[in-house]
Each structure stands twice: as structure tokens, then as C-alpha cells.
Structure 1
């Protein structure tokens, strides 16, 4: 029995009846194909997008690609963003882009420390050196200063090379829970302690699906279909057999390895990156206005974003909070 098709028939009636069969949709990611994009590749590979009437093309990002700009220019339909800071800035700049789903309930940003060196996230501020890249320094590190009392002087530039951290037991390093811990283990021969910023209060949702307000106005059925099919794709990728999605990722990114994919999927699942908190009740992809408002308050206090934004322009819960992936998850866990 095709459970995905049954669920789509029951929960995506509007999309399947209103969307044109084979309607072309382009979705730009923010980096090269990897497990952090796995739910979208899974939905493409197993036909979930096609079953609700969409012909989806995934446009990978990369160091020379600006898919966000292409979305704003009308060249692609949807964009996979990072956290809420860019959508906040978009509203401040009068750009009519809207967050329509959050497929990560937690941002996978972490700090790494040497085993047993500190006992808590707050204790990291006792270390003399914390390797942070420029983007991190101007965003989450400002929150760390505001919320925990870290200092600018502790920050050392991070160049995405783990060697300085590996060699220095009195340091910490930024990273993603899905990647850098494995890189450090391979290079340094030890498993670092991992401190997830989300668990310390940096509570932005991430892996946001963004689109333009004009797309919502003109094609609400396609937005609904894309959001819900993506959420089902993530449920299948995290809780089911991810091989179809992984095959596409490996094809599109020859530098990716199966062991990295396996490690990343386990990290996404074990740390509740995709599915925790709100999504346990409202399904993968769900958005919380209260969480968004709370995170906005924190980032204003940290001086990262401007005060006075109309948060109703940042996001909509019309498409993401339908619980469409809950039955898929339940079936997979019961198998």
C-alpha cells in the first residue's frame, strides 16, 4: 500500500486538485547537496512532489551562487534559508519575502570543546580563545555576549580549519552538529564535547522555506503542495529509508561520502534538529509565532537586528502547521 499517496490524498486535497499536473517549481538551496538538504531530495526522488502535482527542480547553492537573490528577482520560486536573521533583515529592507515553513526546529550551530574541559555551555566563556568566523561573530556571538557575558576579546578568527582548535585544549570552535564534530574526530583523534546553541537559548528555527508574497498570492496551492510534500520528505528521510534521497545527493555532489551522510542523519535525529518541540505536535516544518517573537526579542537585545519590525510580514503558518507529516512518522516508527 502506498501510504505516502494515501496521506497526500487525505491532507493535500487543495494542492492536488488546484495545482496543474506537472507544474514546474524551482527550489534553491543555500549550499551544495548534503544531508542537511535530505528531505527535499527524498521528496524529489520518491515522487512525493510529483504526487501532488509539482515538477520540482532543486538548484544547489554554493560559494558562487546566490539563490536568495534569484528568488527575490523572480528566477526561482522557493529558497532554503538558514535561520531567521535574514528574514528579519528582509522585512527591515522592505523585501516582500515570507517564511512558509521551518524544517529544522533547531539550528544545528554548535560550539565544540575538548573532552571534559568545561561542564556547561556558560562555562565556555572561561576559555581564552573561541574560534568564530566573521558571520558567526556578527550574529550568534553577539547573542552570546548579550545573554551569557562572552567577550569580543575571546573571539579568534575561524577559517573553517579545525587544526588550531585540535591543537589548543583551552579553546572552543564553532561548527555544525552534523559536520564539524566528525571532522575533529578524524583530524584530532578525539570526540569533542558538543554544545548546541539552540539548547542554550538561541532558539531560531532553521532550514526555512522562503518564497515571495507574490508567489503566495498567485499560487497558494503550489506553496501548500511544496511545503507539505517537503515535510513528508523530511519524515521519510529521518525516520525511514533515506537511500533514494542520498543517491541524488551523491550524484549531485561527488565530493560527498556515504559515511558523512550517515553521520549527519544520525545527528539530525539524535539532537532533535528536524523534529522536536513544536513539530512533535504540529508536524515537521511547523512554525511558532511565539518562538519567532522570542527570538526576535533576543536578537534586538543583542543589537543584531533592528527594533520595531512587523513580524506578521516575516512568516505565515497557513501552509506549515497542518500536521501532514505526523501520520508518516507514526507509520515509520511503528514498522
Structure 2
């Protein structure tokens, strides 16, 4: 009996030490999350696990989210995953926005979801051509057949038509198959600077000519974090913690030891390979996808009213959106550094 009483005392002391009720003397400051109770956050990505999501995977793998009171569960994207729909229905708390059109589409459709951070200052979208001394700029692609996915025709293609006078009769359907490009040296195809050029070089044996649209003036953000208005208003500390942890995850993934993030990516997506991850990370650094533009001055994830206005004016001038649309409903600068901050 004496042994049982000692065991009971020991169990009681352990339970008291672990009880949330005994942490009242460590209550979080106003606007801060209670890190003694992890908040579950489901974060939906826009595609299968890859290096372009590396900062988020790194923050999970190294515990950056947990340090800030978040239990982040990444919901892997794919061809059948609609991130805005998941957010609007409440199936996930946060999601990834591939490009600025997604946030503006939400504003136009009056869906209460906003961009709260942009971790790619440059959209990684590229046009890829065969090596040709006559191709010196994007303007030289006018008249050539261009392989585009359906979503791209109503996205960056709008900007290309406005700036370079490209025409819709150049468009050919892109089914994410490199064979049509490799078979015809006049054909141009879309891609991500971090992915398709490397794959085409391995398969075709020739380094393709790559035009990064962002370096030609394309003003869109990419790799954005999207949050429902109800979460922004009801739990801003959670959103802030997620953005801050993600920023640290991106710093570590690009300049620290990325092995933890890579291991988690490879676990989630067995079709991914280490060489693809390594070259993509090098491209993100080389082209300044994450660390350029406003992020250089205001920190990772930065956005600005001026940049959103510039993007909206390009899209609305081509009839994608009515010029009366209040584009500011597409985003908030509440959680990131920005030029308009006092």
C-alpha cells in the first residue's frame, strides 16, 4: 500500500506540472500566442512537395512553428486541390497563393480571403526557348508558337500581350509534357525557372534559353500566404506567428542546413529527387526569388500598396478586372514589412 501511495503522489506531481491550469503565471502577453498550448494550423500548398515550398517545410521540420505555438500540418497540393476553395470552406486555416491573380480573383468574387505575405518577390514563371542567337529578349518571341496551360492564358499571358504585343494565335495548349518542345526548335513553352529548364536540359541535352518574366518587368508576387478574413480579425497573433516562422524557415532553407526540410519534402513527395531540390534552391538564390525587391529592405514576405496597384493596373487595362474593383481587398500589409509603415 505504501508503494501505491508513493506512485499516486508521483503521478499527481507529474499531472500538476503538465496541467495547462498551472501556467497562469506564464500567461501570454496581449497579442501573443500561448505557446504552452499548440494551435493546429492546416496549411494547404499549391502543388506537390517541392523546393519552391522549402521554407514552409523547413519551418515544420526544425520546429520554428512550434516555437511560436503552432502545430502546422501541411496539406499537400496537386492537380485536384483548389486552395481558395479549401480556405473559403474552412477546410484549412491558411493556404498558398501561387500568383497575384489568385488574390485579386478572390477580391473580385467577394470571397473574404486575403494575401498576408509574399515569400516570392519574383514570380518564378519563365518562357523557355531553344538556343538561338537571334533571341535577345522576350520581344523576339513574338510570332512563335508558345505552349501555355489554360490558367496561364488568363494570367501572365495578359501582361505579355500588353507589353510585347503577343497575340492569341501564338498560343498552343501545354499539357506539362516536354515532347512538343523538344521536337520543334521554334516552339516556346512556359515553366518555372526552378524546374523545367533543368528538366529540359537533362532530357534534351541542350541548355535552353530562359526568360524570367519578373526580370523583364512582370510585377506579380508569388508564393503568398492566404488567410481568411475571419482568422485575420479573430486571431491575428496566429497569423503573425505563422508569417514570422515561415520567414525564418525560408532564411534557413536558403542559407542554412536545408536537410531537415528536404527530408520532409521527400517524405511527402516520393517522386521528388535530391538533385531537383538542390538545383531549385540554387536557382532561388541566384535569381533572388525570395530575397529581392521590397524584401531586401523590409524583410521576407514584404508587400506594398504600390506594387499591388501596378499589377492591378496591368490586369485591368486588359479587361481582366473592372477598373472599379477595390484591389486593396486582395491583401493586407498588417503582418509584413512594407514601405507604407510609419
Shift in Å, 1:67: 3.0
Q: Does 1:252 align with 2:276?
A: no
Q: Distance in 2 between matches of 1:20 and 1:71?
A: 26
Determine the structure 2 residue equivalent to 1:230: 246
- Cα-to-partner distance string for 1:79-133 (whole Å, 9 max, x where unaligned): 11111112111111111111100000011000011123401111111x4311112
Q: 2:87 aligns with which of 53, 63, 71?
A: 71
Could you tell me how far 1:21 is from its partner in structure 2?
Answer: 2.7
Q: 2:139 aligns with which of 119, 122, 126?
A: 122
Query: Contact conserved, 1:42 with 1:233, CA < 8 A, in 2?
Result: yes
3-state SS, counterpart of residue 285 of structure 1: coil
Matched length: 311
How is 1:68-217 mapped onto 2 (pairs within 5 angstroms)?
68-117=84-133, 118-125=135-142, 127-217=143-233
Is the counterpart of residue 221 in structure 1 residue 237 in structure 2?
yes
Q: Distance in 1 between matches of 2:283 and 2:37?
A: 36
CA RMSD of aligned residues (A): 1.8
CA displacement, residues 4-41 of structure 1 (integer Å, 9 cap, x when unaligned): xxxxxxxx986655566311111111111100110000
Per the normalisation by structure 2, the TM-score is: 0.87
Whole-angstrom CA distance in 2 between matches of 1:266 and 1:177: 11
Q: Indicate conservation of the 8 Å contact 1:106/1:272, yes or no.
A: yes
Question: Could you give the per-residue CA deviations for residues 160-190 of structure 1, whole angstroms, max 9, x where no partner exists?
Answer: 1112112222221111101110111011100
Q: Distance in 2 between matches of 1:237 and 1:206?
A: 17
Unaligned 5+ runs, structure 2: 1-27
The question of 1:243 aligning with 2:250 is answered no
TM-aligned CA distance change 1:220 to 1:152, over 3 Å: same
Distance 1:17 1:133 in 2: 42
Alpha-carbon spacing, 1:309–1:251, altered in 2? closer, same or farther (3 Å): same
> In the TM superposition, what are the counterparts of 1:279-290 in structure 2 within 5 Å?
279-290=295-306
| 2:309 is equivalent to residue 314 of structure 1 | no
Could you report, residue by residue, the CA deviation over 1:232-264 in whole angstroms, capped at 9, with x for unpaired residues? 111111111111100000001100000000011
SS of the residue corresponding to residue 106 of structure 1 reads coil
CA distance in 2, matches of 1:17, 1:68: 26
CA distance in 2, matches of 1:119, 1:15: 52
- Cα distance between partner residues in 1 of 2:312 and 2:29: 34
Question: Structure 1 length normalisation: TM-score?
Answer: 0.89
Instruction: Give me the whole-angstrom Cα distance separating, in 1, the residues matched to 2:43 and 2:279.
Output: 25
Q: Contact 1:104–1:285 at 8 Å: present in 2 too?
A: yes
- Could you say if the C-alpha distance between residues 34 and 150 of structure 1 is closer, same or farther in structure 2, counting changes exceeding 3 Å? same
Question: Cα gap change, 1:131/1:319 in structure 2, threshold over 3 Å: closer, same or farther?
Answer: same
Question: Shift of the alpha carbon at 1:304?
Answer: 2.2
Q: Which runs of 5+ in 1 are unaligned?
A: 1-11, 324-335
